Structure 1
Amino acid sequence: MKLRTRLTAWYAGVFLIAGIALIGLNYWLLADFSPLSDGVAVARTTAPAEQLDVYGGFTAVEAAQLPADTLVFSPAQVKTDVMSTVLWQSAIALVVAAIIAVWLGWVVAGRVLEPLHSITSTANRLEAERLDHRIELDGPPDELKELADTFDGMLDRLASSFDSQKRFVANASHELRTPLAVQRTLIEVALAAPDATDDMRRLGAHLLDTNERSEKLIDGLLLLARSDRGLATRELVWLDEIIDDEVESCGSLAVSKEVTFDVSTRPYLVEGDPVLLAQLIGNLLRNAVLYNKPGGTVSVRLDRELVVSNTGPTVPAEAVPGLFEPFRRLRDRTGTAGSGLGLSIVQSVARAHQGAAKARPNGGGGLVVQVNLPETGVRQPA
């Protein structure tokens, strides 16, 4: 139940309790009041009203003067009739007033909660790359104005923090990649020397492999930091076309691992960053190939969601959630060329696109990864 509905219910409930209490008080006071002591006689008369001796709204006459067909009511009967009339009329008035109170409560609650709607609307428009929205609530310095100003101050601090993080990532990207590129060049030059010995060549190959791992690790960390910050730009991307490109890119790796692809897709349009989406699919495919067995298969299905499964070794169900954490792998750290960031990047990119990623063990061995990305609903023309 929404807060506006609850506030309206509270307003109406308080009004009903007060109204019922007021009716009860009036009914109790009326029960102790009786202006008549001898009864009431009802008869037709043609005399002008100003010539009648009226007491409490009734004409007082002698009993002997009453016609034979006169109706006589006792005080108890009159009192019962009056109290019943007052009770029913009060109940009808209370129902009508309660309906009006519900409507007024709904209107007042909407006016009271209007600043909260502004806060919610501003929060929904915020993204990591667009923190320029502010509430700037006008009004008296009450609690809601204080809340809006506090929210604006928090956004100012967040914008400053994100700007600092972006500068740090850009500087780190340059500072970390440059020495690795220099090291790789020096190693390649040393290996190309005519007097390079076999031991030096083996050492150089090992150093190049270590250097490549370091570069991939840095690229993965920077990509993870970028996707965690959200999307800087959005554009319409055909996900099925990216899958075809990434499958082709992983072709040589699949051949070396004796793994085949089984791909089934349909036109699927999403809104997002094509580079990050390519990284998401590429990581899924490379993981499915690397953690597979010779002669195995990588199945790629794209219909309502993207499903990538392989036929690798058995994966314990309790170990699956930890695979989405950075640097978490089933195999030993030195037993594979992976950096342990593949599924972490997949999950981060999916979240940046308002999607989700989950995994489960594949029957007979391997892993099934399901990625749900919001589809725009636009279909490719036939």
Structure 2
Amino acid sequence: MPAMSRIALTLGLALGASAAKNSIVAPTGAEKLTVGLLGDYGWTGWQPLPLDFCNNALPKLQADGVTIPRDLQNDCDPGDRAAISNATIEETRTANYIEKVCLQKNCSAFVSVGDNFYDSGVDFTSEGIQRFYEGWANMYVGKAFDGKPWYQALGNHDIVAGKAGVDFQTRIAPLMEDRWYFGNDNLPYYTYDLKGSNWTATFAVVDSDCFINKYQQSTSVYNTDYVIECHQTTQTQVEFLRKAFAESTATWKILQIHHGFISSSTNYTELAPLMDIVRENNAVVINGHDHCMAHYQFNGTNFVLTGGAGYAEAGDCNYGVPLGPFTKWLGADAQQAANGFVTLDISYNALHFEYYARDMQLKGADYYPVANEMKPSYSFDVTQHATKA
């Protein structure tokens, strides 16, 4: 039985005759479908390089002109080294928390905004395969996850391994695990539809890494063969998005990317060509990168930040300064950011977003108190349908 057919059977979803291979069709008569939105989660299984190598050997090698692979440079990052212990604990607890909420809400699928594997991605090696199972396939298990498709995207940590890492996630991983989905063309950008009895939602996935100018600097750990090449052809992805949305007559249109065009830390203005298309289609943007959750509105567009599923970092989200008027809700303060994820209930009448923040008790302290973590800390609706061509 084909992989997607097995998934559909497990979910109890009936695939219509006209549905594309990469579509989920809700049961006949169903009016609502719930999906989990998450990102920036893949810490488990990462082993930082020995401190002696990073502090002593690496500077000597660099001084002697030895070319240091990007992944080795990144695996010596002092901030990530310091975070790994708490990050692994928080990812595991948040995965368990997501399962509890999704059992309650009956999530039918999961939508990822990237950074699937810290610190330097994975590739088709023994270590990469081990990380894939430890950090994802064996992490997100249980009744809420079993058989549920994950619509994946790439983040900056996923591209550190270059073309080999991108090929693993877009081509190899879907063959290893039925739930891991990356389109039908082995590309880092693709589109898929979710369908209900009287509505359709078109999701377009774009690799925002290719648009970021500072990743083209030779000193950047993200300046790999892959990102150098795809930066020269960003117009390909712009036209892909334009065509995907123009040809869609869906009730809702959603752009799924990693970096935030609007943020509480860094606004990636290079993504403006994509945002023009989003506005023309009255679409919604789902992104990660900042390690927290937030809702922004800018120029009539809703931006859903879902990046709290792994290691939450207040420094990515709130520097203790007044937030701009575009910030509608931020799951962070100057001291801590919330772990959690976002659910999306799709129906004909609305896209209903609920932000679930986990009560973060760690080592005897409550780092992000939540009165009732099984209820959303924030929610909002989008009620104006997408523009149709």
TM-score range, shorter chain: under 0.3
Greater share of helix residues, 1 or 2?
Answer: 1
Which structure is richer in relative contact order (CA contacts within 8 A, separation 6 or more)?
Answer: 2
Greater share of strand residues, 1 or 2?
Answer: 2
Larger Rg: 1
Report the TM-score when normalising by structure 1: 0.23
Report the TM-score when normalising by structure 2: 0.23
